[in-house]
Amino acid sequence: MRPLLFTAVRLLDPATGLDAPGELLVQQGRIAAFGPSVDRPDGVEIVAGEGACLCPGLVDMRVHFGEPGTEHKERLASGIRAAAAGGVTSVAVLPNTRPPIDDPAMLEFVARRARQLKSVKVYPYAALTKGLEGRELAELALLKEAGAVAFTDAEQALADARVMQRALAYASALDLLVVQHPEEPSLASGGVVNEGAIAVRLGLRGIPAIAEVMMVERDLHLVRATGARYHVAHISTRAAIDAVRRAKAEGLRVTCETTPHHLALNELEVEGYRTFAKVSPPLRAEADREAVVEGLVDGTIDVIASDHSPQDQDSKRLPMAQAEFGVIGVETMLPVSLRLVHEGQMSLLDLLRKLTVAPADLLGLEAGRLAQGAAADLTLFDAERPWKITEAGLSSLAKNTAFEGRLVQGRVLLTMVDGRVVHRFTA
């Protein structure tokens, strides 16, 4: 590899609080030096930033890819391409493949397939229970040894309290991270959208907001008893956020994440039976969306993750009750989240912390930082550049975006993994 020098960039490192103009040199796939100015080796390639932001590559801790089993929705290659276009250099993939990632052989299959693509780094979750069935614990110790970064039953809540208690006790002994889909299944069963006036007007069965906090509160009692590390996925309601806030104040090892669509959209998006706005958990009332933003600002919510959930056209262009849940989002995570910066609700460094070092630390990844000698996983972006999100302009194999036609600010210009350019924007 030729040395590569980024010049005239705004260096941003949330881990250290760095926010200053400068340069950064990449050699042999590593960050060789950065600062106000750096020495230029012979034969160096210059990337003129023209004031663009250069930060650690984004880390997306919650994506669904369809390989193996549902490649018609998303292959690893197409999902990784979308991630690179979104400035994401590391993704954690959920275990709800077919078959699920519930044994070391399946975990190694996904990791090996990703390595062959030589692009964005892929870190598999492992199933918390065998077959994602919620009855018998998977071989957690063997899966950790095989490289699982965390354990979850993906889109399904682990409903059995005794099984969850055993999982948390075992996870505590091994210092594993347990990730829960926060939804009480019997309350949510058959639900399509958020319970409320809009659901009634559309004649659709609702999913009550209390289904989320009931599961979170139950699990917090178990965390209190076991001392385990517990993470609430895609939190979406004020009550659940308040519960996590209290748990953190108590000293419990509890963290949570939200999604770009839950911080930017509310239940009004399902008007007209828009199935592309059908997600799990559902888009909530405006008061809950505001609570999500408040939780991000005050630090209760640790991470923003895309919850990229690709669906094919045949799964989405159906009546609302029959359509699949999920939206894609790995490619639009940064520009949608930048809304909080443009509206003055968060600083750019604080936002990037939730997209880089915070998820990396939760999963134990060597990522999310600008450090001399670290892997050159980098994202160059123009925080002000406007563009319109369109299905045709997205790299994912699936096109089920909830942001079709939206104007956003923030365009990824270049994505680098281990010193290799894996995405470059061309106007």
What pLDDT score does 404 carry? 96
- Per residue in 219-250, pLDDT (tens digit) is 999 999 999 999 999 999 999 999 999 999 99
pTM beyond 0.95: the answer is yes
Q: Which of 110-119, 144-153, 343-352 has the lowest mean pLDDT?
A: 110-119
- 231 backbone dihedrals φ, ψ, rounded to 5°: -130, 130
- Per residue in 43-81, pLDDT (tens digit) is 999 999 999 999 999 999 999 998 999 999 999 999 999
Amino acid symbol at 186:
S
Q: Is 84 exposed, middle or buried (0-12, 13-18, 19+ CB in 10 A)?
A: buried
CA angle 375/378/380 to nearest 5° reads 165
Boundaries of every domain in the chain: 55-363
Among 59, 54, 51, 139, CA closest to 100: 139
CA–CA gap between residue 149 and residue 146 (Å, rounded): 9
* pLDDT category of residue 372 using cuts at 50, 70 and 90: very high
Statement: residue 318 has pLDDT above 80: yes
What pLDDT score does 152 carry? 98
What pLDDT score does 1 carry? 80
What pLDDT score does 310 carry? 97
What token pair was written down for 328?
């894609």
Nearby residues of 117 by Cβ (< 8 Å), 6 or more positions away: 76, 77, 80
- Per residue in 236-291, pLDDT (tens digit) is 999 999 999 999 999 999 999 999 999 999 999 999 999 999 999 999 999 999 99
Give, for 63, the enclosing helix (H) or strand (E): strand 58-63
- Per residue in 177-204, pLDDT (tens digit) is 999 999 999 999 999 999 999 999 999 9
What pLDDT score does 277 carry? 98
Statement: residue 309 has pLDDT above 90: yes
* pLDDT category of residue 427 using cuts at 50, 70 and 90: confident
Phi-psi region of 200 (alpha: psi -120 to 50; beta: other; left: phi over 0): alpha
Average pLDDT over residues 134-140: 97
307 annotated active-site: yes
323 close to 316: Cβ distance less than 8 angstroms: yes
- Average pLDDT of the chain is 97
Average pLDDT over residues 402-414: 97
Average pLDDT over residues 4-31: 98
Statement: residue 12 has pLDDT above 80: yes
What token pair was written down for 86?
């979104």
Q: How much of the chain is helix, strand and coil, in % rounded to 5?
A: 35, 25, 40
In eight-state DSSP terms, residue 325 is P
Give the number of other CB atoms < 10 A from CB of residue 140: 21
Catalytic choice (307, 377, 382, 418): 307
Look at residue 106 and give its three-state secondary structure. Answer: helix
Statement: residue 324 has pLDDT above 80: yes
Q: At the topology level of CATH, where does 55-363 sit?
A: TIM Barrel (3.20.20)
What token pair was written down for 104?
């070391």
